[in-house]
Structure 1
């Protein structure tokens, strides 16, 4: 397999004269504009004014194809408070044949249920620790067939925007990556680690019929965690078993994952936590844990003017932290996706314990957490026009 990947890369870089000619470039431009309303149980002022409704994101998507080389890119513009502008994905690809493709650039990490391990707008708890819809910089080979799907990838690093000698990663990113954080408010960053030299492998097997189908598989990743202070290399790994069911209008997604991040920071710095960041703000995450997620959906076709379908779902996630002094994290999202032409609207009731986006505690929620934390609930409506 690795010799095959090497052959493909060499072919792309050195043998453009043999690529099948394409007379004209093909270009597609699309995107979305989304707005968001939320009402949170822990925000007293917000409850008094009946919640808040405002701008979520404007995004642009570009796809192109010319002489056998494809481009796929998505750039998002959030408000400054959520990280501002950021590239979600951006890669070049070459199709070796109908089943085999290689991608180079900022591409989705092949781990667990993809593209998503969830049905709702919030994703699953895996997303918040970097194990769902993660995108990193590297090269990925994928094989897609009726029975067997697999992917092999090497990622040099996460999204890199600061190319200094020992530069901390930027907080303006779509997916969560290991990062740096100011723990004591002195203006000096702590826990300064970066993801480097990561390898991934993912294998899925499909079986069933047209009316009921199953997909079951496993995923693994291993890489380095480079500490910017000591200039020493730690390690991180993650493993997962994933499953998907489709039966008529029903769907199920389930996943069990295990991860561990071993850092080599300065003496006295905790090895039980790491910093992770996205959307403009870092927080802490337990350095090792297991996650358990399961979600179910039911799609109901309707004919209500422009409304064509309702997809009802419930997604549950549990983060078991292996440090027994830490309080575990839980989230559950119940909702419905309403499709009306090009408008997609998520109505979600998201509840959580020790989940930074679903409660009053931000920085330590996914790390040591709070023993005896109460359930907090956020009602969220996200409406978007996709073009």
Structure 2
């Protein structure tokens, strides 16, 4: 009898080769350590269409997040870290990113640690405070634990990465992944392991105004009950244009998850979590997104720029009987020195954070759902 292969073949040699690489890296002559400390404090006002009590009192205004950023460099090795502190109801404190890196030259570098997954339009596939639908399924501004190689040429950019797993906060033998995290990852009885990513972008036009790219992702899903390895895969085609004061983003994603769940458990959904709260996501889906923005320079006292934008996302679920999800955000970003204020009208249909029942809006959904909306103002001082 042939046993199922429960371990992907590449992790051990990959890691050994990487350790050897670190040992032979040349050392720059930089003898003076450099350190930069920054951060942000943000507050949030929101008024939601589905919250009757909140509407009667005119919305709520309160604490959003405090963060600390640290950048350091010494003898050619540099560090980038960001720690965020949210309220207890949104997961409390956790590391958004934290990695060490090395620049081989002006075009080539390497990152090790909790670093952004090279997939789709980066840094964000959106302009607004809410992100786009891709964020809520782990495919926008995602960060995982691994190693990433980056090349940035005049016409071609590419990134290659291996991620051992998502942020691991509990190191038990069969411990579920903690939901207290910034970016969405697989949680529950499955764990993301041994993931490889590749992304390439072709830049063309004056000042590389056009960015056309594709991204690939493949990795394992280790099930804690069956102790067997499933897998997941995703592909994205993306295009971004910056022309004067205009910016546009268009992206297509197809993704599939194949967990080796215990008998009787559905394989049409996977559990994902961030900000301390898990929910279900359809295992197989296609996603379409389109965003546009325009900057308007102004001289209104401390206000120097106003950016208008609209971001749209559509999630087409593959499982029979599942209802699709939509999201649209129209808003404006006001920049005044170190203060940035997002004013958004975010509307969602079968969207966990926009009026849904949260648990299964991104999986089976509700065919009788209606569009809900949230008016949101986020004010942040960045230092």
Q: Shared fold (TM-score greater than 0.5)?
A: yes
Is residue 340 of structure 1 aligned with residue 348 of structure 2? no
* Number of the residue aligned with 2:22: 13
Cα deviation for residue 10 of structure 1 reads: 5.2
Residue 205 of structure 2 is matched in structure 1 by 208
- Offset at 1:11? 6.4
Q: Deviations over 1:74-123 (max 9, x none)?
A: 00000000000000000000011110000000000000000000000000
SS of the aligned residue for 2:136 comes to helix
Aligned to 1:110: 118
What is the aligned partner in structure 2 of residue 230 from structure 1? Answer: 226
CA positional deviation for 1:361: 1.2
Q: How does 1:111-150 map to 2 (within 5 A)?
A: 111-150=119-158
1:271-282 → structure 2 map (5 Å cutoff): 271-282=267-278
Secondary structure at 1:358's aligned position in 2?
A: coil
Contact 1:8 1:96 in 2 (8 A): no
User: Given the alignment, which residue of 79, 84, 91 partners 2:92?
Assistant: 84
Contact 1:217 1:242 in 2 (8 A): yes
Q: How far has the Cα of 1:161 moved from its partner? A: 0.6
Structure 1 distance, partners of 2:60, 2:226, is 44
Structure 1 CA distance for aligned equivalents of residues 320 and 267 of structure 2:
14
Q: Map residues 86-101 of structure 1 onto 2, 5 A cutoff.
A: 86-101=94-109
Segments of 5+ residues of structure 2 without an aligned counterpart are: 1-13
Q: Distance in 1 between matches of 2:304 and 2:95?
A: 31
**In 1, Cα distance between the equivalents of 2:139 and 2:21?**
30
Which of residues 186, 193, 196 is equivalent to 2:193? 196
Could you tell me which residue of structure 2 aligns to residue 379 of structure 1? 375
Deviation at 1:142, TM superposition (A): 0.4
User: Quick one: distance in 2 between partners of 1:9 and 1:360?
Assistant: 45
RMSD, matched Cα? 1.4
TM-score by length of 1: 0.94
Deviation of the 1:13 alpha carbon = 2.5
Q: How does 1:1-387 map to 2 (within 5 A)?
A: 9=18, 13-15=22-24, 18-180=26-188, 192-210=189-207, 213-387=209-383
TM superposition shift of 1:8: 9.0
- Distance in 1 (CA, whole Å) between partners of 2:58 and 2:326 is 26
Which secondary structure state, in structure 2, belongs to the residue aligned with residue 14 of structure 1?
helix
The CA distance in 1 between the partners of 2:52 and 2:15, in whole Å, is 58
